[in-house]
Amino acid sequence: MKYLCLVYYSEAEVYSMSKGEWQSLVRECLACGESLRASGHMLGGEALQPVHTATTVRVRNGKVTTTDGPFAETKEQLAGFYFIEAKDLNDAIQVASRIPPARLGSIEIRPVRDLHAELAPNVE
């Protein structure tokens, strides 16, 4: 079963860390990725640049509009993701609780959809 673990934290808080704190967090995240690879959970994952580097694209009536942002006024921003394979939700919760920024912000666990299965006939 595949889950996407979305990592959220307050950029304001994390980016005001001292250099030492920041580096030790980065080291921890690298080690976490390694250990998840070793346990066979890790399918992929990346850390993201801060939200002010983001671009939003929309297509309306065939017309593409590009803006900066998202501008949603949220306390926590999306900071990265882990794409994992887990036995079930309890296993995924175990994995999420090992992701270092879980201590600073939160991890949202989303089961992934199987689009092919949704197109298969006789789906209730």
Partner 1 sequence: MTEQTGQDVRQLVDSLYRSESRRVLATLIRVLGDFDLAEEALHEAFRAAVEQWPREGIPANPRAWLVSAGRFKTIDGIRRRARFDASLAEIAERLHSEAVDPASAVEEELEDDRLRLIFTCCHPALPQDAQVALTLREVCGLTTEEIARAFLTSPPTLAQRIVRAKNKIRVARIPYEVPPREALPERLDSVLQVIYLVFNEGYAASSGASLTRCDLTSEAIRLGRLLVELLPEAEAMGLLALMLLHESRRAARTSPEGELILLEAQDRSLWDRDLIAEGVELVTRALQTRRFGRYTLQAAIAAVHAEAPSAAETDWAEIVGLYDVLLKVDPSPVVALNRAVAVAMLNGPEAGLALIDALLDRGLLTDYHLAHAARADLCRRLGRFGEARVAYERALALTRLEPERRFLLRRLEELTQ
**With respect to partner 1, which residue has the nearer C-beta, 11 or 91?**
91
| Strands (DSSP E) found in the chain | 2-9, 42-47, 55-60, 63-68, 77-85, 106-111
Q: Does 89 sit near partner 1 (CB under 8 A)?
A: yes
Binding mask 92-121 for partner 1 (x = CB under 8 A): -x---------------x-x--------xx
> What's the CA gap between 72 and 114, in Å, rounded?
29
What Rg do the C-alpha atoms of the chain give, in angstroms?
A: 17
Q: Which of 27, 37, 75, 87 binds partner 1 (CB under 8 A)?
A: 87
Determine contact, residues 105/8, Cβ cutoff 8 Å. Answer: yes
In the complex with partner 1, which residue's Cβ is closer, 59 or 123? 123
Cα-Cα-Cα-Cα torsion 70, 75, 80, 81, nearest 10 degrees, comes to: -100
Pick the binder of partner 1 from 44, 88, 103, 106 (CB under 8 A): 88
Interface with partner 1 by CB under 8 A: which residues?
1, 87-91, 93, 109, 111, 120-122
